[in-house]
Chains A and B, each alone.
Chain A
Amino acid sequence: MTNESEATWRLIGTRDSIPLREGRRVCFGDKEAAVFNLGDKFLAVESNCPHKQGPLEDGIVSGEAVFCPLHNWKIDLNSGDVIAGGEGHIATYAIKVEDDQLYIRF
């Protein structure tokens, strides 16, 4: 298991491998993130909804938030806060784009 101190930038793939306003799951060891392409930037959060562990990468993007596909909880992709549906918080991950390559800090 990696911990925060071992976190480093890891290559996901080319930036166009995640379509506009969609999310994809990225796994590394036992870490799982949902990475979203918001056009002008990419954001990533822990991949499971704090409510019933719905797969957030399958949700519908609304601005800089995503709706969980199971019960429509709304999660802010910048902060990881639940902003509608219930209360809670999930971790966020930093994303970088360099030379059309997409990196996550895992």
Chain B
Amino acid sequence: MERKKLLVIGNGMAGMACVDAILQQGPHFDITVLSEEPYYNYNRILLSSVLQGEKLVDDIYINTKEWYDANGIDLHLGAKAVDINAPLHQVVTEKGDIFHYDKLLIATGSDPFIPPIEGVKKKGVFAFRNINDVNAMTSHCEEAPGRAVVIGGGLLGLEAAYGLIKNNMQVTVVHLGNRLMERQLDEIGGLFLKREIEKMGIEVLLQKSTTRIMGKDRIESVQFKDGSIVEANMVVVACGIKPNIELAKKAGLKVNRGIEVNDHMETSDPDIFAVGECVEHRGMVYGLVAPLYEQGKVLASTIVGLKELTYEGTTLATKLKVMGIELFSAGDFLAEDPSMEVVAYEDHAFGVYKKLVVHNNRLIGSILIGDSRDSGRFLKLIRDEERLGDKRQNLLFETPPAVAGSPEDVMSLPDDETICGCIGVTKGQIVCAVKENNLKSLAGVKKCTKASTGCGTCAGTVEDIMRAVNGGELEEVADVLCECVPFPQEKLRNIVQTQKLKSVQEILDVYGNGVGCQVCKPALSYVIDEVWCGEHTEDRSARFINDRVHANIQKDGTFSVIPRMRGGLTNPNELRKIADVADKYKVKLVKVTGSQRLDLLGVKKADLPKIWDELGMPCGHAYTKAVRMVKSCVGAEFCRYGTQNSMQVGVDLEKELEGLYTPGKLKMGVVGCPRNCAEATVKDIGLIGIEGGWQVVIGGAAGKVVRAADILVTVSTTEEAFEAAKLFFQYYRENGKYGERTYDFVERLGLEKVRRETILANKEIQDAILNRLEKSKANTVDPWVVEAKRPATSMQFDEFVLPKDGAALLNNFPV
């Protein structure tokens, strides 16, 4: 049977949530999606996190290419629909392409509302609506630091303001109304919020109507109706949104403020449906995410012909963290009718405000600022319209007051209490998923239940539930280095630094058993070397034999020698020298290694210095926890697919980092295109050439563990790629546990934290990291060069062979 064609205009959260719901009803349609934005479906709520530098664009995609492919969705990116011909069942795009449909879903969302302000079209004025806006804003902040004026003190405006101070701008928020977030807060609530925001250094001006944005080439100031002026070089307009209904109008659909839909989510045309922010239902237009999901489910049931669900509107509730401040608002929170009772609590010192509105013995509205732990309980009372009865007495504070966020506290919640308001996931569903799948990570819960994939505010609660179900198993146990020095490694590093301990024995004497062992001694050697880089006493006896003789010990006590061949490049001269040395010292075997180098195996310890000297090649550090190599592919220089010059970049990267020691061995790869011939995606650090830039990946492995590397960042220049790689490299040197490879390191810390503290850290922190790296690098020496002629310790490469007649001298000693 031929399936009907479903065409979707809009690739946003509402459209794709609805498509997801339709897919769950079975394979009813061939689905085509037209996306005006050139991006896969992403979480628009998290744009503020991107602006704030807490997330990267790559992190906020909800559905990737795989999802579209797996569901057979024909996605057209950059395809803007400009006309709907309802009688012909056709949609025309800006490029002139015509799409036919049997059923059409309009999910065009909304556009920012731009008030008629003089100069609002000038360069330097931004809206805050999509990925492009965020990218443009961050570039502007970087290029032109100064003061930004945010017009609009609603949720969006405040999130923008918070993002801008994180981008080192000074910020003034101007708001037309007499309080911030008037759609969510009463006057007192607005006051609490204003005070908290001002503490962050953001200026707030209320009852200001913006009239002009002044300046020629660049913005210089913003003028208000009362004549006052604020100097600024950037303006962000966040004055709300207006439903995008132009197409619907052209299609002849009934529209008011939004596209009118009934309780089955049908429009006035039987073959056209609409969902999300572009919709008006029972006179309401929603700008929040929860209604989108509810509408999507109903629409799915209608469009496949079931019609078993109806949408009756959503009780407006907002629970969020605005600029790190917990905030909850639901129902009728104003209590303007004198028959309504107000229960309130204000703690100005702690910035906590709680307000409940009771009417006819029922809870009808609430505001919580600074502590929104009870929001679930209140929202349930409001939604269920439950008669309060006895509950009225302890409404604000249930007895006994629970400890914030403790697992017991979470488990006392009823099973049907909503934990994730965005997706609508209850506590019972999360408990079920955790038990059935033995989940131990937030990522697991996200995958199974979709909880916490919206705004993410509930992540902590979800973790508490997991902890409670698993009996606290998520708790990390402090792991000490070894019994000799019973401290965790992070602590030891700190001790070494603050106590100015500069030798392994000193640490063992002061903080350990004075003796040490083969586990802690090399680890402490690493820590001291990393912290003091050269300002310390190197104690060779604390090093593994490989690090004393700069070669890798083999099972028969001989050693292997691997000279450095940067990027896997060599030449006839080097090969000749290697061949000569192999002949002269009767090397048992010459092998090409997995790291694109040559290994001379079966070398006697005593021959090592001579071999280094005669090779005249740099040490390859193949025997120790250090920078091993950069494996490279041929790249743009020869390869017909190459987009980047991977060989030269590989050689350069190796030069930048060679000679440095790391917690675990560190392998790198540079490839000129995503075909990945040199396997950069399974290296500790990889650079993957793409058209117009590089992807920097970290934490890959193909050894005992096989792990695909995570994308740290995508950049456009080699310079930026090096900087990102170096930031991660030094961060790993400083925070990795001895013996911990990057694949464990990245998993232990989490990619988010790694990014936040490296590529997303502020410039000062980044500079400091890079300076420490530079200092360490400046202190590196090639041990082969230094010790070929002068071993660091006596008889390092030799043994004592006593002469046959050596005993004669000593016969006078008593036995």
Q: Which residues of A contact B (CB under 8 A)?
A: 7-13, 16-22, 24-29, 35, 52-55, 57-63, 67, 69-70, 72, 96, 98, 103-106
- Asked if A10 and B521 make an inter-chain contact with CB atoms under 8 angstroms apart, the answer reads no
CB distance from A18 to the nearest CB of B (A): 7
Q: Pick the interface stretch among B84-92, B137-145, B249-257, B540-548.
A: B540-548
Selected from A12, A18, A29, A98, the residue in CB contact (under 8 A) with B813 is: A98
Q: Determine the distance from Cα of A68 to Cα of B497 in the docked complex, in whole angstroms.
A: 31
A35 proximity list for chain B (CB < 8 A)? 800
Q: Which residues in window 770-815 of B have CB below 8 A to A?
A: 793-795, 798-802, 804, 806-807, 809-811, 813, 815
- Asked if B795 and A10 make an inter-chain contact with CB atoms under 8 angstroms apart, the answer reads no
A106 proximity list for chain B (CB < 8 A)? 802, 807
- Asked if A28 and B541 make an inter-chain contact with CB atoms under 8 angstroms apart, the answer reads no
A20 proximity list for chain B (CB < 8 A)? 541
Whether a CB of chain A sits under 8 angstroms from the CB of B515 is: yes
Selected from A17, A29, A105, the residue in CB contact (under 8 A) with B795 is: A17
Known contacts being A8-B807, A8-B810, A54-B557, is A63 close to B793, with CB within 8 Å?
A: no
Q: Which residues in window 523-566 of B have CB below 8 A to A?
A: 539-545, 548, 553, 555-557
Interface size on B, residues (CB 8 A): 34
Known contacts being A8-B811, A103-B813, is A24 close to B545, with CB within 8 Å?
A: no
Selected from B793, B802, B811, the residue in CB contact (under 8 A) with A19 is: B793
CB distance from A101 to the nearest CB of B (A): 9
A-B contact pairs, 13 of them (CB 8 A): A16-B794, A19-B794, A22-B541, A24-B798, A24-B800, A28-B802, A54-B557, A57-B799, A59-B518, A59-B545, A60-B541, A67-B517, A106-B802
Name A32's closest neighbour in chain B (CB-CB). B799
Whether a CB of chain A sits under 8 angstroms from the CB of B331 is: no
CB distance from A49 to the nearest CB of B (A): 10
Q: Give the one of A60, A61, A104 with max B CB within 10 A.
A: A60
- Asked if A27 and B801 make an inter-chain contact with CB atoms under 8 angstroms apart, the answer reads yes
Name B792's closest neighbour in chain A (CB-CB). A19
Name A29's closest neighbour in chain B (CB-CB). B804
Q: Which residues in window 252-292 of B have CB below 8 A to A?
A: none
Known contacts being A11-B809, A27-B801, A69-B553, is A19 close to B540, with CB within 8 Å?
A: yes
A22 proximity list for chain B (CB < 8 A)? 540-541, 548, 793
- Asked if B518 and A8 make an inter-chain contact with CB atoms under 8 angstroms apart, the answer reads no
- Asked if A24 and B799 make an inter-chain contact with CB atoms under 8 angstroms apart, the answer reads yes
- Asked if B810 and A11 make an inter-chain contact with CB atoms under 8 angstroms apart, the answer reads yes
Known contacts being A19-B540, A62-B517, A98-B813, is A26 close to B799, with CB within 8 Å?
A: yes
B556 proximity list for chain A (CB < 8 A)? 53
- Asked if A60 and B544 make an inter-chain contact with CB atoms under 8 angstroms apart, the answer reads yes
CB distance from B356 to the nearest CB of A (A): 66
Name A28's closest neighbour in chain B (CB-CB). B802
B542 proximity list for chain A (CB < 8 A)? 21, 60
Whether a CB of chain A sits under 8 angstroms from the CB of B516 is: yes
Known contacts being A25-B800, A27-B799, is A69 close to B544, with CB within 8 Å?
A: yes
Q: Determine the distance from Cα of A79 to Cα of B333 in the docked complex, in whole angstroms.
A: 83
- Asked if B553 and A58 make an inter-chain contact with CB atoms under 8 angstroms apart, the answer reads yes
Selected from A29, A54, A60, A105, the residue in CB contact (under 8 A) with B518 is: A60
- Asked if B802 and A18 make an inter-chain contact with CB atoms under 8 angstroms apart, the answer reads no
A55 proximity list for chain B (CB < 8 A)? 553, 557
Name A105's closest neighbour in chain B (CB-CB). B815
Name B799's closest neighbour in chain A (CB-CB). A25
Q: Determine the distance from Cα of A98 to Cα of B799 in the docked complex, in whole angstroms.
A: 21
- Asked if B557 and A27 make an inter-chain contact with CB atoms under 8 angstroms apart, the answer reads no
Q: Determine the distance from Cα of A60 to Cα of B505 in the docked complex, in whole angstroms.
A: 13
- Asked if B557 and A63 make an inter-chain contact with CB atoms under 8 angstroms apart, the answer reads no
- Asked if A53 and B557 make an inter-chain contact with CB atoms under 8 angstroms apart, the answer reads yes
Selected from B539, B553, B811, B815, the residue in CB contact (under 8 A) with A70 is: B553
- Asked if B795 and A24 make an inter-chain contact with CB atoms under 8 angstroms apart, the answer reads yes
Selected from B540, B802, B807, B815, the residue in CB contact (under 8 A) with A26 is: B802
CB distance from B602 to the nearest CB of A (A): 15
CB distance from A7 to the nearest CB of B (A): 8
Contacts A11-B806, A60-B522 known; list 9 others, CB within 8 Å: A18-B795, A19-B794, A20-B541, A22-B541, A22-B793, A52-B555, A60-B518, A67-B517, A72-B518
- Asked if A26 and B800 make an inter-chain contact with CB atoms under 8 angstroms apart, the answer reads yes
Name A35's closest neighbour in chain B (CB-CB). B800
Q: Determine the distance from Cα of A16 to Cα of B795 in the docked complex, in whole angstroms.
A: 10
Name B484's closest neighbour in chain A (CB-CB). A62
Q: Determine the distance from Cα of A72 to Cα of B799 in the docked complex, in whole angstroms.
A: 22
Known contacts being A12-B800, A27-B800, is A62 close to B541, with CB within 8 Å?
A: no
Q: Which residues in window 326-357 of B have CB below 8 A to A?
A: none
Known contacts being A21-B541, A69-B553, A96-B813, is A27 close to B802, with CB within 8 Å?
A: yes
Q: Determine the distance from Cα of A69 to Cα of B555 in the docked complex, in whole angstroms.
A: 10
B798 proximity list for chain A (CB < 8 A)? 24
A25 proximity list for chain B (CB < 8 A)? 799-800
- Asked if A13 and B800 make an inter-chain contact with CB atoms under 8 angstroms apart, the answer reads yes
Q: Give the one of A12, A20, A21 with max B CB within 10 A.
A: A21
Q: Determine the distance from Cα of A102 to Cα of B541 in the docked complex, in whole angstroms.
A: 19
B799 proximity list for chain A (CB < 8 A)? 24-27, 57
CB distance from B433 to the nearest CB of A (A): 43
Q: Which residues in window 427-463 of B have CB below 8 A to A?
A: none
A17 proximity list for chain B (CB < 8 A)? 794-795, 800
Q: Determine the distance from Cα of A25 to Cα of B545 in the docked complex, in whole angstroms.
A: 14
- Asked if B541 and A61 make an inter-chain contact with CB atoms under 8 angstroms apart, the answer reads yes
How would residues 364 to 398 of chain B score, 1 for a CB under 8 Å from any chain A CB and 0 otherwise?
00000000000000000000000000000000000
Q: Determine the distance from Cα of A21 to Cα of B505 in the docked complex, in whole angstroms.
A: 10
B811 proximity list for chain A (CB < 8 A)? 8-9
CB distance from A72 to the nearest CB of B (A): 6
- Asked if B541 and A69 make an inter-chain contact with CB atoms under 8 angstroms apart, the answer reads no
B518 proximity list for chain A (CB < 8 A)? 59-60, 62, 67, 72
Selected from B516, B548, B794, B800, the residue in CB contact (under 8 A) with A62 is: B516
Q: Determine the distance from Cα of A28 to Cα of B809 in the docked complex, in whole angstroms.
A: 15
- Asked if B802 and A12 make an inter-chain contact with CB atoms under 8 angstroms apart, the answer reads yes
- Asked if B555 and A10 make an inter-chain contact with CB atoms under 8 angstroms apart, the answer reads no
Name A66's closest neighbour in chain B (CB-CB). B518
Q: Determine the distance from Cα of A7 to Cα of B556 in the docked complex, in whole angstroms.
A: 29
A69 proximity list for chain B (CB < 8 A)? 544-545, 553
B521 proximity list for chain A (CB < 8 A)? 60, 62
CB distance from B514 to the nearest CB of A (A): 8
A72 proximity list for chain B (CB < 8 A)? 518
B794 proximity list for chain A (CB < 8 A)? 16-19
Name A53's closest neighbour in chain B (CB-CB). B557
- Asked if B806 and A28 make an inter-chain contact with CB atoms under 8 angstroms apart, the answer reads yes
Q: Determine the distance from Cα of A59 to Cα of B795 in the docked complex, in whole angstroms.
A: 15
